[in-house]
Chains A and B, each alone.
Chain A
Amino acid sequence: MAEKMIVSSSPHIKSGITTRKIMLDVIIALTPAAIASVIIFGPKALLLIVVSVASCVASEYVSRRVMKRENTIGDLSAVVTGLLLAFNVPVGVSPFIVIFGGITAIVVVKQMFGGIGQNFVNPALTARIILMASFPSEMSTWNKPFYYMQTTADAMTTASPLGILKSGASGTMPNLLSMFVGVRAGCLGETCAVALILGGIYLVYRKIISPVIPLCYIGTVAVLSLIAGRDVLFDLLAGGLLLGAIFMATDYATSPINFKGKIVYAVGAGIITMLIRIFGQLPEGVSFSIILMNILVPHIERLTRPLAFGKERVKK
């Protein structure tokens, strides 16, 4: 016993789960949707995904250097943000817009608030909203699925299904099967429902996310759609609902950590989404609804705090 012993607080063993492993699982879960986007929207989609991931990782690296903080690109969270940001832009945007979005997401939304776990709104979604405000026409110009294989001189762009529904804009409404497999206009990663659902099942199976938020969010949208007399399946498959409910609303940093809080948060997001879709000027409400609920998270958590073991509920 020559060497000194390590004396530390219990517990002395750990489960082995790390932030990096969690992020890697999220990346795996996003892969089917990424592949689908490249098939549907062509090589430009791949370019945007690569540029987005690279700009997020580079922003993370540089901002940590400038702030003289430990390098954290190894936790892979910037890769996840990069993927999600790319999933939230149309294929027609310039790569420079995506780079601008990546810098905004990582530097302004994430690192300026303290880095991973500290941001109070979802970085990728906030960046998307800033891009929508800064580049409104690029961010709402939708290329047709498989436009890159098109040989005739037909128009390459069309309206998104929600846009068609909202404004009666020209364009043919895709049928539900096309929407399910993702053959419709929309942001890169939001169109292929089957890929998103596969990813969601993988995350739940790996216990990375609890199914509470996606189910409550999607369920609320379905119920409200039914009440409003809309086509329920259309509402579920159109826009960014599945991408948002499965991958964005479940972001750890910006969603409640307790069970009841998750329900309140997800139902709230569902209600706002449908209010925007039915009454709003915009065709789509998923991004705004999630960001609004993100901001309410501290209050939701305070009001839904679980009762400690052996504690009696105090009547007020």
Chain B
Amino acid sequence: MEFPVKPFLTHGGADVPPRKSTEQIESAILPPPAQVVLPMQQHAGAPCAPLVKVGDEVLVGQKIADSDAFISAPIHASISGKVTAIKKVMLPGGQFSDAVVIDSDGEMKISPDLKPPVLETPSDLAKAARESGLVGLGGAGFPTHVKLSVQKDKPIDTLIVNAAECEPYITADDREIIENTQSIFDGISVVRRMLKIERVILAVEENKPDGIRKLKAIADGETNAESRICILTLPSRYPQGAEKVLIKACTNREIPIGKLPADVGCLVMNVTSVAFLANYLKTGMPLVKKRVTIDGSAIRNPQNVIVPVGTKIADVVDFCGGYRAEPKKLLMGGPMMGLSLADDSLPILKQNNGILAFDEQEARMNKPTSCIRCGRCVNSCPMNLIPTQLEKYSNAKDIEKLQEYDVMDCMECGSCAFNCPAGRPLVQAIRLGKGLVKAGGKK
């Protein structure tokens, strides 16, 4: 199969400010925190049930929760110590989940049971990914093993490694590329071999010159024609990293509404997920730590920090010198799609790639004024929707019109609201509209 010479054209998007001030700073490693909180829901899909009880001693890498459901991913202890509580905690989205609380013994003792998995058949790869607890590390948290379970009637010909990282501020994937380049290639080669994928495209936004140089140095050194990887430089335009947009930019294929990448022969994996998979296959150490970008106007020393999953946000912020100003908004994820949090006692989850704290000035938003029908939202929409109409239909609770105008096709990237001169809460309205359609049932 041929490699794309340059990215295919995609519609819409937004010229977001990059604000990637942490891209040059080497990731720091957080000393083991005194306590971690591990919610049973750190992925898209069914929540896990705890396998441990209060009073149990646990070791790093030990599985502490799992589920029988297919779309789910087990959870592992990220520090060694004692389970001191199993309690309800509020997740970033506002829903509640049980969480296992572990108090550290300060020793980070590693479970002796960990060993690298043996891969013989293609399904072994999916099994291994499931056991590792891997979820999409780009932010969505979709269990990786589900994607790797290729169905016979939907063959995959292209693996797209997503290193676009188009959200402002976030540089966690960028640092992964710079600090862990070889693992990315190792991971790609395993996935390619096991799933017999013809073509691999690693897509990265052009605003990461250091990472691109390192990737190209290895990719260009590949002499075997069949193992070549295309390093595709994308324009720095949000949301290049959104799955549907990325597939379009790399292959010119459009995922039909309601379908998945596999329906157009693509498998999309986040770059950090791929590198993690390579390390897991070498060491058997499941997903217990995560690199997160700590940034925003209220953070004293912005940087990337590698933290045990379940570390409280406040502990990581303290490690970064604390708040330089009163934080008025705290975000899990990037400023375009991240969730705003009520307080900093929440734990960092597996799929987290950033924590941002905004001071008063950065958190302030103008009051919405009337829509002037300028059409900027329409020009910004990567899904070719009409956000201003959707807002009106959502406010009018007109489920029929919402469906007619394809509200469910919206991926909530926020480009429309970012570009709206009237400051309309378009994404909020559309989200409510999607809720209405879901509740109202499809006709």
Using CB atoms and an 8 Å cutoff, list the residues of chain A in contact with chain B: 1, 3, 5-15, 17-19, 21-22, 72, 75, 77, 114-118, 210, 252-253, 257-258, 305-312
Top 9 A-B pairs, shortest CB-CB distance = A11-B414, A257-B375, A9-B428, A308-B406, A309-B383, A117-B372, A12-B335, A13-B335, A17-B421
**Residues of B contacting A1 in the complex (Cβ-Cβ under 8 angstroms):** 314, 327, 343-344
**Residues of B contacting A312 in the complex (Cβ-Cβ under 8 angstroms):** 256
Q: Assuming the A-B contacts A1-B344, A15-B15, A22-B372, are A10 and B339 also in contact, with contact meaning beta carbons closer than 8 angstroms in the complex?
A: yes
**Residues of A contacting B340 in the complex (Cβ-Cβ under 8 angstroms):** 5-10, 12
Q: Does B148 contact A (CB under 8 A)?
A: no
Assess whether B342 is in contact with A15, with CB atoms less than 8 Å apart.
no
**Among candidates B378, B420, B421, residue contacting A21 with C-beta atoms closer than 8 Å:** B421
Assess whether B341 is in contact with A7, with CB atoms less than 8 Å apart.
yes
Assess whether A11 is in contact with B418, with CB atoms less than 8 Å apart.
yes
**Residues of B contacting A21 in the complex (Cβ-Cβ under 8 angstroms):** 421
How far, in angstroms, from A312 to B375 measured CA to CA in the complex?
Answer: 24
Assess whether A14 is in contact with B378, with CB atoms less than 8 Å apart.
no
Q: Assuming the A-B contacts A19-B372, A310-B409, are A13 and B418 also in contact, with contact meaning beta carbons closer than 8 angstroms in the complex?
A: yes
How far, in angstroms, from A75 to B382 measured CA to CA in the complex?
Answer: 29
Assess whether A253 is in contact with B406, with CB atoms less than 8 Å apart.
no
Q: Assuming the A-B contacts A9-B428, A308-B257, A310-B257, are A19 and B421 also in contact, with contact meaning beta carbons closer than 8 angstroms in the complex?
A: yes
How far, in angstroms, from A14 to B412 measured CA to CA in the complex?
Answer: 15
Tell me the B300-341 residues at the A interface (CB within 8 Å): 314, 326-331, 335-341
The stretch of B184-192, B214-222, B363-371 in contact with A is: B363-371
Assess whether B371 is in contact with A117, with CB atoms less than 8 Å apart.
yes
Assess whether B358 is in contact with A117, with CB atoms less than 8 Å apart.
no
**Residues of B contacting A17 in the complex (Cβ-Cβ under 8 angstroms):** 376, 419, 421
How far, in angstroms, from A286 to B413 measured CA to CA in the complex?
Answer: 41
Interface of A is mostly: loop
Closest to A9 in B: B428
**Residues of A contacting B423 in the complex (Cβ-Cβ under 8 angstroms):** 14, 18
Assess whether B256 is in contact with A5, with CB atoms less than 8 Å apart.
no
How far, in angstroms, from A15 to B378 measured CA to CA in the complex?
Answer: 15
How far, in angstroms, from A11 to B362 measured CA to CA in the complex?
Answer: 13
How far, in angstroms, from A10 to B339 measured CA to CA in the complex?
Answer: 7
**Residues of A contacting B395 in the complex (Cβ-Cβ under 8 angstroms):** none
Assess whether B386 is in contact with A305, with CB atoms less than 8 Å apart.
yes
Task: Tell me, rounded to whole Å, the shortest Cβ–Cβ distance linking A20 to chain B.
Answer: 8
B1-45 near A? 1/0 per residue, CB < 8 Å? 000000000010011110000000000000000000000000000
Q: Assuming the A-B contacts A6-B329, A7-B340, are A257 and B386 also in contact, with contact meaning beta carbons closer than 8 angstroms in the complex?
A: yes
How far, in angstroms, from A277 to B433 measured CA to CA in the complex?
Answer: 48
Assess whether A307 is in contact with B365, with CB atoms less than 8 Å apart.
no
**Residues of B contacting A210 in the complex (Cβ-Cβ under 8 angstroms):** 375
Assess whether B16 is in contact with A13, with CB atoms less than 8 Å apart.
yes
Tell me the B89-131 residues at the A interface (CB within 8 Å): none
Q: Assuming the A-B contacts A17-B421, A115-B370, A258-B378, are A12 and B338 also in contact, with contact meaning beta carbons closer than 8 angstroms in the complex?
A: yes
Closest to B388 in A: A257
Assess whether A12 is in contact with B358, with CB atoms less than 8 Å apart.
yes
How far, in angstroms, from A116 to B256 measured CA to CA in the complex?
Answer: 37
Q: Does B231 contact A (CB under 8 A)?
A: no
How far, in angstroms, from A15 to B418 measured CA to CA in the complex?
Answer: 5
Closest to A2 in B: B326
Assess whether B373 is in contact with A18, with CB atoms less than 8 Å apart.
no
Assess whether B11 is in contact with A11, with CB atoms less than 8 Å apart.
no
Task: Tell me, rounded to whole Å, the shortest Cβ–Cβ distance linking A252 to chain B.
Answer: 5
**Residues of B contacting A114 in the complex (Cβ-Cβ under 8 angstroms):** 370
**Among candidates A72, A116, A310, residue contacting B259 with C-beta atoms closer than 8 Å:** A310
**Residues of B contacting A9 in the complex (Cβ-Cβ under 8 angstroms):** 340, 425, 427-428, 431
**Residues of B contacting A12 in the complex (Cβ-Cβ under 8 angstroms):** 329, 331, 335-336, 338, 340, 356, 358, 363
Assess whether A307 is in contact with B384, with CB atoms less than 8 Å apart.
yes
How far, in angstroms, from A6 to B385 measured CA to CA in the complex?
Answer: 29
Q: Does B417 contact A (CB under 8 A)?
A: yes
**Residues of B contacting A258 in the complex (Cβ-Cβ under 8 angstroms):** 375, 378, 386
Task: Tell me, rounded to whole Å, the shortest Cβ–Cβ distance linking A249 to chain B.
Answer: 14
How far, in angstroms, from A7 to B327 measured CA to CA in the complex?
Answer: 12
How far, in angstroms, from A116 to B414 measured CA to CA in the complex?
Answer: 24
Tell me the B398-441 residues at the A interface (CB within 8 Å): 405-406, 409, 412, 414, 417-423, 425, 427-428, 431
Assess whether A117 is in contact with B339, with CB atoms less than 8 Å apart.
no
